[in-house]
């Protein structure tokens, strides 16, 4: 049995229960792994599979981490209000799972956090927090975050120290910040500002 870590959560406060599968990406037998995962989903009558992951990107650690969501099929993407995946190239297990879900008729989406490539040597609580916030927005629910906010701030401070110790990295981060700020300013709209403010206030009330 390749699939060893799964946890069922009874959540009477929400409209649905959750099945969480966590583990290291398998290096072989992807087809067997995926079949076992989707067999479990069929047995538990899972209606939607949401995969979470991260990717290395030219992104500054000092700015909000961007999370993108995509669906494997146009019908699913349109119905769930996300983008259609147009990626072509080498894939990982999450891409294989999405394709298998499509073949079985199970709704599936992916949420990806853009992690700064210069700060990829350790887990990023800030990326984890960004993924959870995106999941909350998508499902329109709230999860208890515990000390995750504190861990995210500590991670950012640690990376700040790294950039201060290496002037080359520091200059690179400044360039990324300027590029990110410029793009964000040009793309932002009044509706987006209002939505982000509502999200912030909602999370502050729940903290």
Confidence class for position 206, pLDDT limits 50, 70, 90: low
Overall pTM > 0.95:
no
Q: Calculate the CA 190 to chain-centre distance.
A: 25
pLDDT cut 70: percent of the chain above it: 74
Domain count, the chain: 1
- Return contacts of 74-83, CB within 8 angstroms, 24+ apart: 76/102, 76/107, 76/108, 76/109, 77/109, 79/107, 80/107, 80/109, 80/138, 82/109, 82/138
- What is the per-residue pLDDT for 96? 86
Q: Which two tokens stand for residue 93?
A: 């297990």
> Does the residue 148 lie in any domain?
yes
> Does the residue 159 lie in any domain?
yes
> Does the residue 111 lie in any domain?
yes
pLDDT of 162 above 50: yes
pLDDT digit string, tens, across residues 81-114: 666 665 555 567 888 888 898 888 888 888 889 9
Q: Which two tokens stand for residue 187?
A: 């793309």
Which domain CATH number covers 77?
3.40.50.10900
DSSP SS3 for 68? strand
> Does the residue 19 lie in any domain?
yes
Domain that residue 24 falls in: 6-206
| Location of structure tokens 């853009």 | 114
> Does the residue 1 lie in any domain?
no
pLDDT digit string, tens, across residues 38-79: 998 999 888 889 988 888 888 899 999 988 888 766 776 676
Both ends of the chain: CA-CA distance in Å?
A: 39
């Amino acid at each position: 049995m390749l699939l060893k870590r799964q946890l069922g959560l009874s959540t009477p406060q929400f409209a649905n229960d959750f099945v969480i599968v966590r583990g290291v990406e398998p290096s072989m037998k992807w087809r067997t792994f995926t079949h076992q995962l989707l067999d479990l989903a069929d047995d538990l009558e899972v209606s939607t599979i949401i995969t979470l992951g991260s990717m290395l990107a030219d992104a500054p650690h000092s700015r909000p981490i961007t999370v993108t969501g995509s669906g494997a099929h146009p019908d699913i993407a349109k119905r769930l209000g996300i983008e259609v995946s147009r990626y072509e190239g080498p894939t990982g297990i999450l891409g294989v799972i999405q394709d298998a879900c499509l073949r079985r008729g199970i709704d599936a989406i992916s949420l990806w956090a853009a992690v700064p490539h210069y700060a990829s040597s350790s887990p990023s609580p800030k990326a984890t927090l960004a993924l959870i916030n995106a999941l909350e927005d998508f499902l329109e629910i709230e999860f208890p975050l515990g000390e995750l906010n504190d861990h995210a701030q500590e991670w950012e401070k640690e990376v700040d120290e790294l950039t201060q110790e290496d002037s080359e990295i520091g200059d690179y981060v400044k360039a990324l910040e300027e590029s990110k700020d410029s793009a964000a300013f040009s793309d932002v709209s009044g509706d987006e500002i209002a939505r982000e403010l509502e999200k912030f206030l909602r999370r502050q009330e729940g903290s």
